[in-house]
Amino acid sequence: MSSFSLRIIASDHVFYDGSCEILTVPAHDGPVSILAHHEAMMMATQEGEVRFRPAGSTEWQEAVVGIGIVQVVNNRALMVVDSAERPEEIDVRRAQEALERAEEQMRQKQSLQEFKMSQASMARALSRLKGSRHYQGL
């Protein structure tokens, strides 16, 4: 299978830099897979799971990511995201606490801006929980 180069850059580290055969990202209207020689494209992604298979490997690699951008140009894919974690790295308790905090805030009366903030943090917590549960095989 032909491969393309992939870089996943999170705000606090470079998550992956290498070649890969297939990449699946969470777009706003559902997951989108990218293969080698994809046409030049720019896409916004939301919180969710990214899966990719490094070149020459049969194992899939997974990451739980925050919102970001995917850019494909000249057979090079570049993904710039808020955060990227391996599912096994996720602190389930922290995510659970963040979810409860967000839920509590949502119940209170708040301004539109506060509402958007807690909505976003709720989405983040949910996607992290989902990612780690997926990893544990639940």
Partner 1 sequence: MANAREILSRMNSVRDTRKITNAMYLISSNKLRKSKQMLEDTEPYFYTLQAVIQRILRHIPDIQHPYFSDSRLKNEDEKSRALVVITGDKGLAGAYNHNVLKAAQDWMERGANHHLYVVGELGRQYFAAKHMPVEEQFHYTVQNPTMHRARRISSVLMEDYESGKIDEVWILFTQMVNSLSEEVQLKQLLPLQRESFQNVKIPVSMIQEEIQMVPTPQAVMDHIVPNYVTGFIYGALVESFCSEQNARVMAMKSASDNASALLDELSVQYNRVRQAAITQEITEVVGGAKAQRKKEKIG
DSSP assignment string, 40-65: PEEEEE-SEEEEEEETT--S-EEEEE
Residues 60 to 99: which contact partner 1 by CB under 8 A? 67-69, 71, 73-74, 78, 80, 82-83
Residue 106 interacts with partner 1 (CB under 8 A)?
Answer: no
* Nearer CB in complex with partner 1: 36/133: 36
Residue 120 interacts with partner 1 (CB under 8 A)?
Answer: yes
Distance, CA of 25 to CA of 65 (rounded, Å): 9
Residue 126 interacts with partner 1 (CB under 8 A)?
Answer: no
Positions in the binding site for partner 1 (CB under 8 A): 7, 9-14, 27-29, 32, 39-44, 46, 67-69, 71, 73-74, 78, 80, 82-83, 112-113, 116-117, 120
